[in-house]
Amino acid sequence: MADSLSIDVPWIMCQQADAPQPMNGKSNATIDFEGSTYFLPAWSVSILPDCKSEAYNTAKVKTQTSLMVKKRNTAMEASEILYWSWRPERLGASAKGFGSTFTVNNLLEQKSVTLDESDYLWYHVPRSFLKHGEPNTLLLFEEAGGNPLQVNFQTVTVGAACASASEGETLSLSCHRGSTISSVDFASFEEPKGTCGAFEGGEGCSSDEAFAVVKDSCLGKESCSIEITEEFGKSCGTLPSPRKLAVQVTC
């Protein structure tokens, strides 16, 4: 029915308790399925929506993984004094259908309650609302009273960045605007174990060539891109193909 109506529906893949694991582990593999040949990197899952064309493979994703860290806002330590002011927020007729005082046991849809005339129900300010280089006013709502001078501001920035790409592809890394890559923490021309922030060497080698090229291409830069060639694995001997470069840097 969904196919005949050309609509998308959610779907769930289930695995029986006695079924084999769907993930290819231990080593790379080339398999034949329904008359077509597919390459499956180790520890990966491929999705074929039409049972023919590979649309996604977990090991072939090249998007950067960023580890975010909190950073104290240096404006709080500046010499100028921060001035605060306050004003009452009376909803009145803005509270559509609820009156000026009401109690509910669930979250309310903001615009239907305040008619978009009040900030009373806003819980989060999207980054797109802030204007770079211009004064931005921050409003804090406190029901029980308090001292605004004790408010602490922290920003979030990229602390570390990880990415991987196979031979013949391009690996890209970037820090937040204004930050540069200060060190290369991990560079391996193999399939690494672990996750970003806790990489370990896998089956292969951590080549000196990989470290040297990554350092030369990325250190001191806000972003960098590296073409993955066979030069990375000269000291690694024979490795499964296609080979992959995995990198972690500190911003």
Over 70: is that where the pLDDT of 236 sits?
A: no
Band of pLDDT at residue 1, cut at 50, 70 and 90: very low
- Residue 110: enclosing H or E segment and its boundaries? helix 110-114
DSSP 20: P
Domains of the chain, with CATH numbers?
29-60 (no CATH), 65-70+155-250 (2.60.120.740), 83-152 (no CATH)
Distance from C-alpha of 46 to C-alpha of 23, rounded to nearest angstrom: 9
DSSP 82: P
159 touches 251 (CB < 8 A): yes
44 touches 57 (CB < 8 A): yes
DSSP 165: E
Band of pLDDT at residue 148, cut at 50, 70 and 90: low
Whole-number pLDDT of residue 219: 93
pLDDT by residue (tens digit) across 91-126?
A: 555 555 566 566 777 777 766 676 666 656 555 556
Average pLDDT, the chain: 72
Please state, as a whole number, how many other Cβ atoms lie within 10 Å of the Cβ of residue 161.
25
